[in-house]
Amino acid sequence: QLQLQESGSGLVKPSQTLSLTCAVSGGSISSGGYSWSWIRQPPGKGLEWIGYIYHSGSTYYNPSLKSRLTISVDRSKNQFSLKLSSVTAADTAVYYCARAPFEYYFDYWGQGTLVTVSS
Amino acid sequence: EIVMTQSPATLSVSPGERATLSCRASQSVSSNLAWYQQKPGQAPRLLIYGASTRATGIPARFSGSGSGTEFTLTISSLQSEDFAVYYCQQYNNWPLFGPGTKVDIK
C-alpha cells in the first residue's frame, strides 16, 4: 500500500522560505506514469493545487505561485520536496502531498501538515 | 481560465435519503472530472474519476455522471459516514478544484 508522509517546519516567518518534504513508501517514486503533487488548504477553505513533478524532474507549477515555487525530487531517497519563497500569512495552510496517474486525479494523499506563517 | 463552481454550498439530508451534488465548469473539461470526500482533520479521499468511474473500494451508493460542463455526484442512500465536504476537480488542464459542497445532517 502506497503511503505518503509530509514533514518540515510548521512555523515560518513572513518573507522567509517554506520547506516541506514528502516521503513515499510502499512504492517507487521512479515508477513511470505518475506525477507527484503538492496541494494546500487554508484553514476552513478549499483545496489549491500548487504544482507537480515527475521522477524525471519535469515540473509544472500553478501559474499563481510559479514565481515563488520550486519542487524537486530525490529518487535515491524516494521523496520530493517543496520550497515556497517570500511567504506571507496568506500561505498559512495544511499542505498535502499526493500522487496522480500522469496529471490526472489524486489517488493517494499524505495526511497533511499545517504550516503557519507568523512572526 | 476555467472556473469551477459547486452547488449547493450546503446540503442538509436525512440518513437514508438521496443526495445530489452539482459541479459546473465554465468551459468543457470533457470527462476529466474527479470527486473527493473530505472529513474534518483528514485528507481528501478519491471517490470518482473520469466523471463516472468509482475509485477502488468506493461503495456503489456513490455514482457520478455528466460530461462537458455539467457534472453530478449522487449518493443514493446517505449513511452516517457520508456526512462530509465533497469537492470536484477538473484535470483537463492543470488541476483545479471546486469550492466544495458540505453535506450535513438534517
Cβ within 8 Å, pair A106-B36? yes
Q: State the pLDDT at residue B74.
A: 98
Q: State the pLDDT at residue A102.
A: 84
Question: CA-to-CA distance for A26 and B38, rounded, in angstroms?
Answer: 23
Q: State the pLDDT at residue B76.
A: 95
**Which of B10, B37, B46 to probe by mutation at the A interface, max A CB count within 10 Å?**
B46
Cβ contact B24:B5 at 8 Å: yes
Q: Which of A47, A100, A110 sits opposite B87 (nearest CB)?
A: A47
Average pLDDT, chain B: 97
Task: Record the cell numbers describing residue B70, joined without a space.
Answer: 455539467
Tell me the average pLDDT across B96-100: 98
Q: State the pLDDT at residue B98.
A: 98
Q: State the pLDDT at residue A40.
A: 98
**Residues forming beta bridges with residue A41, ordered by sequence position:** A94
Q: State the pLDDT at residue A76.
A: 95
Q: What's the first-to-final CA gap in chain A, in angstroms?
A: 39
Q: State the pLDDT at residue A31.
A: 86
Q: State the pLDDT at residue B20.
A: 98
Ranges under pLDDT 70 in chain A:
none
* A46 in B contact zone (CB under 8 Å): yes
Tell me chain B's radius of gyration from C-alpha atoms. 13
Cβ within 8 Å, pair B44-A109? yes
Cβ within 8 Å, pair A49-B94? yes
Query: What pLDDT, in 10s, does the model give residues B28-79?
Result: 999 999 999 999 999 999 999 999 999 999 999 999 999 999 999 999 999 9
| A40 contact partners, CB below 8 Å, separation of at least 6 | A47, A48, A50, A91, A93, A94, A95, A96
